[in-house]
């Protein structure tokens, strides 16, 4: 009887061990990278909301300050969502019958909440605090992008840990003067004629900004 396995199966069986290892590694890599895509983490995708609120109009065209609505951003971990009363301040007069605004009117009438969907939803084991970032000179734009150019709110950045760390390792790459934190489209070269690095290092020194990379800084 002829042998079941030809001699070449020796080589094949040895090679298959290596190939199996490679396949596992490739699958692992694929998993990690698929999870990092904007498709999976919904970055850059407008999120469905009950009211199609537009920052382009309110921030870009009207020039309303971020803090008009996000009033607790300087004192609290949470930036703040205004009561429906704040919307009604204008929208009881302007666009007062617009069907698009019915959820806001309903909320105001019945004292119920407009059920917004959180766009920047950090994992629950991350303890983020808006006030410290804003008070140390991290601009809204550095994390949230050009909100004044977002007709519908979307996440500009991944919010992956490596993204947080990029700034926590080298805050000077993003720091701005404290009075420019809420300005959109601020550019140190255009406005002050200095490079971001030069300005950042100066501000880091002046405002006692430290590089924070200890796990317990964010994970408590």
Partner 1 sequence: MKLHHAVFLASAALFAAACRQDMHDQPKHKPFTGSVLFKDHRSARPLVAGTVARGQLMEDEHLWTGKIDGKPAETFPAALAAHFGGGADWQARMLARGHDRFQIQCTPCHGSVGDGNGMIVQRGMKRPPSYHIDRLQKAPPGYFFDVITNGFGAMFDQRDRIQVEDRWAIVAYLRALQLSQNAQYADLSAEQRDELDHPKPRTEGQSHSTEHGR
The DSSP secondary structure of 67-94, one letter per residue, reads: HHHSTTTTTSSS-----HHHHHHHHTTT
- To partner 1, the closest distance from the beta carbon of 111 in angstroms equals 8
Q: Taking a C-beta distance cutoff of 8 angstroms, is the pair 186, 148 a contact? A: no
When binding is defined by CB under 8 A, the residue of 81, 119, 152, 201 that contacts partner 1 is 81
C-alpha 197/C-alpha 208 separation (Å) is 16
By the rule CB under 8 A, 90 interacts with partner 1: yes
Nearer to partner 1, 76 or 210 (CB): 76
By the rule CB under 8 A, 112 interacts with partner 1: yes
Nearer to partner 1, 191 or 211 (CB): 191
Helix (H/G/I), strand (E/B), else coil: 25: helix
When binding is defined by CB under 8 A, the residue of 44, 82, 160, 206 that contacts partner 1 is 82
- To partner 1, the closest distance from the beta carbon of 38 in angstroms equals 14
Stretch that binds partner 1, among 43-51, 58-66, 98-106, 201-209 (CB under 8 A): 58-66
C-alpha 170/C-alpha 204 separation (Å) is 10
Q: Taking a C-beta distance cutoff of 8 angstroms, is the pair 127, 102 a contact? A: no
Supply the angle between the helices 102-110 and 84-91 in degrees, to the nearest 10.
120
By the rule CB under 8 A, 31 interacts with partner 1: yes
Return the structure tokens found at 43. 């970055």
Nearer to partner 1, 107 or 142 (CB): 107
Q: Taking a C-beta distance cutoff of 8 angstroms, is the pair 79, 72 a contact? A: yes
By the rule CB under 8 A, 98 interacts with partner 1: no
> H or E element: which one contains 152?
none
The DSSP secondary structure of 172-200, one letter per residue, reads: GGTB--GGGTT-TT--HHHHHSS-HHHHH
120-159: which residues touch partner 1 (CB under 8 A)? 123-125
Nearer to partner 1, 85 or 169 (CB): 85
Number of residues that bind partner 1 (CB under 8 A): 37
- To partner 1, the closest distance from the beta carbon of 98 in angstroms equals 12
Residues lying near partner 1 in the complex (CB under 8 A): 27, 30-31, 34-35, 40, 62-65, 67-68, 71, 76-78, 80-83, 85-86, 88-90, 92-94, 112-113, 115, 118, 123-125, 183, 191
């Amino acid at each position: 009887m002829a042998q079941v396995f030809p001699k070449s199966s020796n080589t094949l069986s040895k090679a298959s061990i290596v190939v199996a290892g490679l396949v596992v590694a490739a699958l692992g890599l694929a998993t990690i990278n698929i999870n990092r895509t904007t498709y999976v983490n919904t970055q850059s995708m407008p999120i469905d909301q009950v009211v199609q609120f537009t920052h382009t109009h309110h921030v870009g065209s009207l020039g309303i300050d971020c803090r008009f609505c996000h009033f607790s951003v300087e004192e609290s971990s949470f930036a703040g969502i205004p009561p429906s009363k704040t919307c009604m301040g204008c929208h009881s007069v302007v666009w007062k019958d617009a069907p698009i605004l019915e959820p806001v009117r309903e909320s105001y009438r019945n004292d119920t909440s407009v059920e917004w969907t959180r766009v920047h939803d950090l994992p629950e084991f991350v303890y983020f605090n808006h006030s410290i970032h804003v008070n140390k000179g991290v601009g809204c734009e550095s994390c949230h992008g050009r909100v004044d150019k977002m007709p519908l709110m979307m996440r500009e950045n991944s919010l992956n840990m490596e993204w947080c760390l990029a700034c926590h390792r080298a805050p000077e790459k993003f720091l701005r003067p404290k009075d420019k934190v809420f300005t959109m489209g601020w550019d140190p070269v255009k406005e002050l004629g200095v490079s971001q690095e030069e300005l950042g290092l100066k501000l880091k020194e002046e405002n006692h900004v430290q590089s924070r990379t200890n796990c317990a800084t964010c994970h408590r």
